Each structure stands twice: as structure tokens, then as C-alpha cells.
Structure 1
Amino acid sequence: MKKLFLFTSILLFLTVAVFAQTSPVKIGYVDSQVILNQYPPAIKAQSDLDALIQNWNKKIDSMTVTLQQSYQSYQQQVETMTADARAQREQEIVLQQQRLDQFRQQKYNQQTGELYVKQEQMLGPIKEKVFDAIDKVAKEEGMNFVFDKAGDVVLLYADQEYDITFKVLDNLKRGK
């Protein structure tokens, strides 16, 4: 029993000694949304994307109004139409609906839509610069890990002392 106690004590001492020799882990965080909302190239890119979206939405609204008008006109005249005329108008309405759906898909599809492609083209290089700036500041600050407060990682509490958001933003604005 005495040997077991001695062995356990030595093992515990060695474990504590090993952990005492390792350097502490330094963790920081950024709020990438704050950076993107205050970094001029990101603001410009988002403004351009918003203008594009606004134009597409106007087109969608126009197509929707035209479709609704066609359908209302059809409903008002359906009783007086011949079977052939009715079938032709129904086909026209179906085609209008298909064009509207196709336009929406072409612009807003999550993987292949023009919005997705434009976001990657316009924001991709900017995000790369942000990541490079985060990397640089983290290395300057001697940090082992940097989390994104705006990302999917839930950050329940963080001391402001470890927030490097504005250091990264300053680094980006200085162009370093």
C-alpha cells in the first residue's frame, strides 16, 4: 500500500511538473462582422451587391405583377373563351410563372446563382485580406487561437482584453 501511494505521488508530481513547463495558451477573438462593416473595400463590395440585388428584385416584382395581371384577366374572361383560347392563355400563364421561377433560380440559387458567384468574386479577395490580417495580428500578439465572435462558434463570454477586432481593422486600413 505504501508503494502504491509513493508511485501515485511520484506520478502526480511528474504530471504537475510537465504541465508547469508548458507555456500558457493565449486565445483571442475577432468580430468579423464589425471588420466587414467598417473596412472600406468590404463596404463598397456590399453596396455593389445590394444594388445588384435591388435591380433583380425590381425585375422579379415587375414579372410578378405582369403574371398577376395576366391571371386576373384570364379569370375575368374565362367564361367567354373558347376551349382553345382558354388552353392557350393557361399555357401563357404557366410559361410566365416558369420564367419567373427560372429567373429567381438563376439569380438566387445557393450554389450556382449569380448572387453566390458575385459574392465570391467581390468578397472573396477581401475576406482573404481579412484572414491574412488576423493571422498577422495573432502572431504579433503571440496568440495560439483566434475565434470569430460572428461565426458559428458560440462565444458565451469573452474579456475585451482578448478582442483583436480593431487591431485587425487598423492593420487592414494601414495596408500592411
Structure 2
Amino acid sequence: MRLKIFVSVFIFCAITVSAQKAQRIAYIDMEYILENVPEYLDAQNTLDSKVTKWRGELDKLTRYIEKLKTDLANERAILTQDLIQEKEDEITLKQQELRRLESLYFGPKGDMFLLRKQLVKPVQDQVYNSVQSIAARRQYDFVFDKSSDLVMLYSNKKHDISDLVLKAIVRDRKIKQNKEKQAAKKNPTKGLSDKQKKALAAKEAARKKKEEDRAARKKKIEEARKKRLADIEAKRKLLKQKKEAAKKKKEEDKKKEQDNN
């Protein structure tokens, strides 16, 4: 609460002190921006899925502990003191495990905090950098977040630069994707794990083998075609030779007959 008051007073004083010159003020709607950034939605869905899984584990363990307590209450009258102590120890251990998991998953530096930082913070940083760039380029003195705890009683839509921030994010994403595509063409295995590299190498080997097989089949077909043409040409020549020989023999026989007459 003190922080909010301090921020409000600071902004008021800053605007008052520099009232002599025209102030350039803009605002963004962080919720609107993040809801329209695919990377943020993907990160949030991944985080929500993990949280659902963790809460399911905790709920399952909680139900198990309640069952142990119920069973002990129902059976206490017929159990020996040693068995009662054993069941109470089991309940205590399970309760300790529950508290440990709650701290592990949802503690100040638990898995949810770390995963949110890993998934969501890069997108928030992207928004922040875009705001900084736009504010510097357009020379804004102040840029507020409409969806933050700082209450905005009135805002003129013409001062809303949320769409400008979204356009800047989309532009930066396209530039990054183009750079990644060019880098991937130059070095396809850069940034890949050993497993992905092996898969890519296997895929490339399969592609080359397929091309080699296709070239071998094409060569075989071409050789068979040439052989057929050669066989046809050889038969044609042989037939021609036979016809010429027959014609020559016929002419010789005719000449002999004329000479005998």
C-alpha cells in the first residue's frame, strides 16, 4: 500500500514539477497485449497444465492422509498401542511429505516460480523492450500500465499505444524467425540436442539414399532403353544384310542363267 502511495505521489510530483512544458503521456494495457502474443498464451497454457498436475498430486496425497486418519479413528478401539503409533507415524510422514511438495511446487522459489520465470518472463521482457523503444522514439515522458495496480480513473484512447507495442513484437518476431531460418540453412544442427542431431542426420541420410535409389533406377531404366534400341538397330542391320545378300544371290543366279543360255 505504501509503495502504491509512493508511486502515485512520485508521478504527481514529477508531472507538477515539469508542468511548464507539455507532457507526452501514453499508456498500455498489459493484459490486452499479453493475450494477443502467441508465445505468452503457449507459456501460460504450459504453466497452467503443470499447475493442474501438481495440484492433482497434492489433492491425491491429501485424500490419502484423510483416509489414513479416518481408518485410524474407526479402528483405534481394536488396535494395539504399537499399531496405533505406527499408523500415527505414517500419517505424520505423509503430512510432512505434503508440506514438502507444497513448498517444492508453490513456494517462494518453487517450481511454479521458476517455470513462470522461464516461460513468461522472456515475453514480458519483450513487451518491456518494445515499450522502451516506442517511448524513446516518440519521446513520451511517461508510459503507464492500465492493467496494473496504479488506478487510472480516465484514459483517452488516443494515448493507448498497446497496438503499437503488439506490432513491434510481431515485427521483432518475424525478424528473429528470418534470422533463425537463415542460420538454420547455414548450420542446420546449431542449437539442437544430440538426439535431435542424430535424428536430423538420419533423416538427411534417408533423403540421400532415396535420391541415390531414384538415380540408380533412372540409370537402370535408361540403360535398358539403350539396350533395346541397340538390339532393334542390330536386328534391323541383320535383316538389311540378309535382304542385300538375298538380292545379290538372286542377281548372280540370274546372270549365270543368262550366261548358260
Calculate the TM-score normalised by the size of structure 1.
0.83
- Long gaps (5+) in structure 1: 1-18
State yes or no: 1:148 paired with 2:145. Answer: yes
CA deviations on 1:135-175 (whole Å, 9 max, x unpaired) are 12223333111001111211111111101111111211122
- One-letter amino acid of the structure 2 residue matched with residue 122 of structure 1: L
- 1:167 partner SS: helix
Following superposition, the deviation at residue 132 of structure 1 comes to 0.7
Following superposition, the deviation at residue 51 of structure 1 comes to 0.6
Which residue of structure 1 lines up, in the alignment, with residue 30 of structure 2? 32
Which residue of structure 2 lines up, in the alignment, with residue 71 of structure 1? 69
Number of residue-to-residue matches in the alignment: 156
Which residue of structure 2 lines up, in the alignment, with residue 137 of structure 1? 134
- One-letter amino acid of the structure 2 residue matched with residue 90 of structure 1: E
- 1:129 partner SS: helix
- 1:117 partner SS: helix
State yes or no: 1:56 paired with 2:54. Answer: yes
> RMSD of the alignment, in Å?
1.6
- List structure 1 segments (4+ residues) > 4 angstroms apart after TM superposition: none
- Long gaps (5+) in structure 2: 1-17, 176-261
- One-letter amino acid of the structure 2 residue matched with residue 33 of structure 1: E
Separation of aligned partners in 2, 1:54 and 1:170 = 33
Calculate the TM-score normalised by the size of structure 2.
0.57
- One-letter amino acid of the structure 1 residue matched with residue 161 of structure 2: I
Show the 5 A alignment for 1:4-43. 23-43=21-41
Which residue of structure 2 lines up, in the alignment, with residue 118 of structure 1? 115
Which residue of structure 1 lines up, in the alignment, with residue 171 of structure 2? 174
Higher Cα Rg: structure 1 or 2?
2
Return the structure number with greater helix share. Answer: 2
- One-letter amino acid of the structure 2 residue matched with residue 153 of structure 1: L
- One-letter amino acid of the structure 1 residue matched with residue 41 of structure 2: I
- 1:28 partner SS: strand
Separation of aligned partners in 1, 2:51 and 2:111 = 10
Which residue of structure 1 lines up, in the alignment, with residue 160 of structure 2? 163
